[in-house]
Each structure stands twice: as C-alpha cells, then as structure tokens.
Structure 1
Amino acid sequence: MTDARWLDPEERQAWLALLAVTTLLPGNLDGALQRQGRLTLFDYHVLAMLSEAEDRSLPMSELASRTYSSLSRLSHVVKKLEQRGWVARRQSSEDARVTTAVLTGEGFAAIEQMAPGHVGSVRQAVFDGLDHRDVADLERIGKKIVQQLEPSSWVLREPRINS
C-alpha cells in the first residue's frame, strides 16, 4: 500500500471541476481571439499587461511574472508580437542589462479593438453564470491556489479594483 493522501469524494469532485475549467476555458478563449485577431490567449495577456503598465512598458522579467511564464516563452511571444509591429524591445535607460518590452501605438490600437470582443467572451464563458458571491468566491479561491503555486505572484500583490 502507499501512503498517498487520496482525495475524498468532495475534493475529487472539486478537482474534476477545476480540471475541466482549466482544460476548456483556454481553448474557448483562444478560439475567440484566433477568429478576432489571430492571437492566442497568452499573446493577448502579454498585450493587456503592457497596456495596463505605466508608460505601456515593463521589464521582461516583470512581464514574465505578470503573465506567469518563463522568460524563454515570453521572449518567443514578444518576438512574434514585434514582427506584427505591436511590441518593441528596448534597453532600459536605468540599467543596460535590463530589456524592456514596450507596447507600440499600433499594438495599443490592436488591443483596444480586440478588448470588447475578448471581454464579451470572458463574460459569456465565466461571469454570466455567476452571481456576486460566486465572483468573490472565485477570486478568493483562485488567489489561495495561486499563493500555493507561486507565492510571489503579481496577482497577489495587485490591489483589488473596486467599481
């Protein structure tokens, strides 16, 4: 016998639900973005993080943190976005060892154009079926899981935006 801590029936059902979400949601949102702008969800996320940053720029290491990716994966995607004219890489004026990703005007215009459709897809896929309490629970639970996976995560440091 093993010393495994097996999931109880309630944990198993929660795990299967989470697994289904993590499997189905990216493909659903990727599909909508592919039709709209030939982007993946990750590509869009990179553009979105840059669009929300001060001066629309971030050091590559910070952008990797905000997009939960490795520097090599991020570098590959930034190169693809550079080829479209949406992102530029620049040497930091404060530290020559630091490379900064900058959202171009063309990139900002592209994300501005895609954002309404993307938000509509997110709303339809996730939020239309939830009430305010569900949304608060989703945030609370998601942050707890992220805390276990990535304790220094940007999402845990980001202040909540109240509207």
Structure 2
Amino acid sequence: MSRFGTTLPAVAATLGCVFGALGVAACNGTPTTTTPTPTAESPTAESPTAESPTAESPTTGEDIAGLPRYQPSATISQAGGSTVLRTADSVQQVQRFYADAVSSGGWQVVSRADTPNFASFVVKRSGQGASITIAPGTDSRTLITISTYPSP
C-alpha cells in the first residue's frame, strides 16, 4: 500500500484507464489477478487470493500489441489495454531494451523521457499508440507499465 491507500498495480490500472479513454480500450479499474507459477524470480510464489491483486504469473514472450514483454519479468496485472510487469533488472536495463524494441519495431517516438530512475516512451505506428513507463517499485524491483490505444 502507498501512503495514499492504493496499491501500485491499482494506480497502474487506473493509468491504463486514462490512456484507454483516449482510444477505445475499456477498463473496469481493477487489476486482474492471475495464478502464479514458481519462477527463478519468485521460487516460492504463493496462491493468490481476492485480497492479493498483485499476485504474479510468469511472463511469456508474447507481444503486447506489437511491443515485446521484457524478459525476465512477471505479470503483475492486466486490465483494459494496460499491462504491468515487474523485473529484478534495473530501470536502465529495461530502458535500453525498450529503446531498441521501439526503434527496431517500426514505432515512431512521439515523446521520450530518460533519467537514472525513470524512463517513459510514447510511441505510435499504423493506427496504434502505446505508452511505456519504467520506474522503480517499492520492493527494489522495476515496474514496467505498457498501455496501448488506437492512434490516428
């Protein structure tokens, strides 16, 4: 919980709703809880409950609307065009990965911000837009939020 009484995944899902409002994506504002499977990152994953919206599941290599999922990472939540991932890798490592993925994936960078502790990309291509935000989480891991929406 943050000092405002909201979990980080819930905030990320809300941001997904905001980005979704710009396009067609629908969102109910509640992160989806997935069943975790033990991974190298979390070998003792516990079963999720209704009270644990941050339960993790291992992330596969499936793209998120044409953007690759960072590996290794775990899916924290998915809701209406927004996906939140978590990794033990640094913000800088993840930023370099997405900078390469965007440039090699045919995306046009609309805006970009890079600092040692935060990175953000807003990109578009062929009727599709995406926002990628990379920031440290409260547990010394890096959070990656990818929100997608239609774009002219």
Q: TM-score, normalised to structure 2's length?
A: 0.27
Q: TM-score, normalised to structure 1's length?
A: 0.26
Q: Which has the higher helix share?
A: 1
Name the larger-Rg structure: 1
